[in-house]
Chain A
Amino acid sequence: MTVDNLSPGTATSATDDITPAPARQLRTRGGSRSRRGISGWIVLLIIAAAALLMIFPFWIAIINGFKPAADYIQDGPISLPSQLDFSALVDFWRGVDFNRKLLNSVAISGSVALIAAVLSLLSAFAIGIGRIKGRVWILAVFMVAFTIPQEALVYPLFVLTRDLGLYDTLAGVIIILAVLQSAFGTYMLSSVLGAFPKEMLEAARLDGANRRQILGRIVLPLTRPTLSVLVTFFFIWTWNDFFLPLILLPSADNQTVSVALGALSGQYTSDPTALAAASLAGILPALVFFLIFQRTLMRGVNLGAVK
């Protein structure tokens, strides 16, 4: 589901930040303090309260993840911790071998992102620049790959990976997710490349460039910003992906962060501070990525229009 969900949000949030509409700037200047009024403050207050409600669960996880168990028993979940206590977090980290899960997730997400980007670029080159026959149908078929419910693929994939010796290996999951995500990448890149300036291609061709050179020297540099956005999406989606890794990576040693948290055994979901610590461990990498990728996304979309 993340595929359908996350991308537009992240992408457009960046667009919005970078290319502030003239309208908005104009209004910010024009919309002065005098316009705020009492109703303005009331609306702001309501919206701010709603926003705080949205992040309340995060706040709860953070303050309780560091709270000594005794504090929790005495003062409940809302109070601030009297001291920073890392023991619950450390217990969880060690108990589920969280470093290992992080490593698995990074390896899988990183590989999927790169491989899927390469696959997308190659296919989109054929469709958007090469304008091969039947490309509309091809795109439609590719679209099926990223809308089809994974439940309709999982059992056969389960059987096939086993027969190929890829079951319970990172490589198996990487290949499958890379293909599924490249379908989306192809779809998106094709429309970008479809609007590629023909004059430039024509000029290159007159200079005697062949297809491979056009791809490497012209298309790639100009689409790199879009590609970096894609790589970022692929990384985040893969990081958050749950279903296929749950089924295809049964070993504790191969589990990803998402699966490890989603399939937590009772001992870590038993008391509130342990739960908070587990949630916090899951939130931390997501927050880090958000902070890192936000910049990449902005850079990417800023140049991404391929004009």
Chain B
Amino acid sequence: MTSLIGLPPRSTGAPVRRSRLLGTERPAGYWLYILPGALGFLAVVLVPFAMNVYYSLTTWSGVGEPQFVGLDNYAQLIGDATFWTSFRNSALFIVAMAVIPTAIGVLLAAVLFDFIAPRFGTRTSSLLRALFYLPQILPIAVAGVLWKWMYQPEYGIINTLLSSVDLDGLRQNWLGDSDLAIYSVMNVLIWLQIGYTVVLFMAGLSRVDPALHEAAELDGAGWWQRFRMITLVQLRPEIAVVLITTSVAALKVFAPIFVLTRGGPGTSTIVPAYFSFSNFFTTTRVGYGAAVATVLAILVTIIAVALLRYQTRTTEGFDDDGR
């Protein structure tokens, strides 16, 4: 998303300043073209979200009439340990989906781009990049099935492997130990995300002027120094955008939890999305689930707005003639 939105306009060069070129026709006519999209938005997003907010002010089991209770659900949320656990886990998932993959991704991209490629050719680096990228193409549900099997405590791949090299002491109850399960899930998310950041940052690096690197090299800067002084600095826009978008994604994690742990053991891997889902459909406390979803939506929207502001700042020119 970032590159599609953010990068192409930047690379298309100087913004075209335009004023009333199309003034010959009533601009109102263009409203017709946005009508289908707007109606769809109204029916699929706006009205449902308004309904969700309304539900969040009621007690309702999904049948019969919702009972209006004002802000009771929200008041109850504040005292609900599960709710706070779910957001604490979200914070951990931001680490797993945004922070760690970004750190690893930048490093890997830099190594592939200006260490491996110059020495072993772009073919080698492209192949390696493709291997890192592979997990990204899997539907999350499939990745979940795969990792559930890797983690199974009795016949799972990881424990079987550990036993076969006489490391039985390292066998773990990966998803069944409430202290460990969250890290096991985080590991899957990192595995999923690394490819995304590697590919994105490599694209970013191809934008960097090679003269910078060459000049630094002539000045006797080592690879590590160049990485810190040039690569990191030049990739700053990509890094910022990646951190924001993946943090949004991390807050919305649902499928990996649904497939791997269902929030368990206990509530040790619960996330807001799953918490709201289970309130909707398992315990049928629709109002409460709606309140969780509303809080989550507000949080995500705040981050998204931050992204939007960042985007409009970097894609200057798109919106230059008045609003």
Contacts and interface: CB of A to CB of B under 8 A. Distances in A.
Establish whether A and B are touching in the complex (CB under 8 Å). yes
A28 B117 contact: yes
A21 to B, nearest CB: 4
Interface centre among A119, A153, A239, A286 (most CB of B within 10 A): A153
A82 interface: no
B119 A54 contact: no
A123 B37 contact: yes
B146 interface: yes
B3 A279 contact: no
B141 interface: yes
B141 A261 contact: yes
Interface string A7-43: 1111111011101111111111011000110001001
A155 to B, nearest CB: 5
B115 to A, nearest CB: 6
B33 A149 contact: no
A198 interface: yes
Contacts of A17: 126
Given A195-B12, A269-B145, A155 B290 contact: yes
Interface centre among B1, B120, B134, B300 (most CB of A within 10 A): B1
Interface in A264-281: 264, 269, 272, 275-276, 278-279
Contacts of B281: 247
Given A140-B308, A155-B280, A160 B48 contact: yes
B26 to A, nearest CB: 10
B297 A152 contact: yes
Q: Which secondary structure characterizes the binding site on chain A?
A: helix
A141 interface: yes
A115 B168 CA distance: 54
A6 B251 contact: no
Contacts of A278: 145
A307 B121 CA distance: 30
A43 B115 contact: yes
Interface size band for B:
35 or more
Interface string B265-307: 0000000110011001100001001101110110011011100
Given A54-B132, A132-B30, A148-B301, A275 B149 contact: yes
A20 B289 contact: no
A28 B92 CA distance: 40
Interface string A94-137: 00000000000000000000000001101101110111111111
B184 interface: no
B160 A279 contact: no
A279 B149 contact: yes
B255 A242 contact: yes
B3 A11 contact: yes
B30 A156 contact: no
A137 B112 CA distance: 40
A282 to B, nearest CB: 3
Contacts of A240: 138-141
Contacts of A78: 160-161, 164
A259 B141 contact: yes
A275 B33 contact: no
B174 interface: no
B160 to A, nearest CB: 6
Contacts of B118: 24, 27-28, 30-31, 35
Interface in A143-179: 143-145, 147-157, 159-160, 175-176, 178-179
A81 interface: no
Nearest to B212: A23
A60 interface: yes
Contacts of B208: 23
Given A144-B45, A188-B4, A275-B145, A8 B115 contact: no
B145 A262 contact: yes
A191 B8 contact: yes
A1 B308 contact: no
B120 A187 contact: no
Given A4-B246, A205-B22, A305-B11, A123 B141 contact: no
Interface string A71-101: 0000011100000000000000000000000
A180 B202 CA distance: 29
Given A127-B34, A130-B27, A145-B41, A7 B51 contact: no
A184 B1 contact: yes
5 contacts: A16-B206, A40-B119, A125-B33, A130-B33, A132-B27
Interface of A: 1-13, 15-17, 19-28, 30-31, 35-36, 40, 43-44, 47-48, 50-52, 54-55, 57-58, 60-61, 76-78, 119-120, 122-123, 125-127, 129-138, 140-145, 147-157, 159-160, 175-176, 178-180, 182-184, 186-188, 190-192, 194-195, 197-198, 201-202, 205, 210-211, 215, 229, 236, 239-240, 242-243, 246-247, 257-259, 261-262, 264, 269, 272, 275-276, 278-279, 282-283, 286-287, 289-290, 304-307
Given A10-B199, A152-B48, 7 more contacts: A23-B208, A55-B131, A57-B191, A135-B323, A144-B301, A279-B142, A283-B138
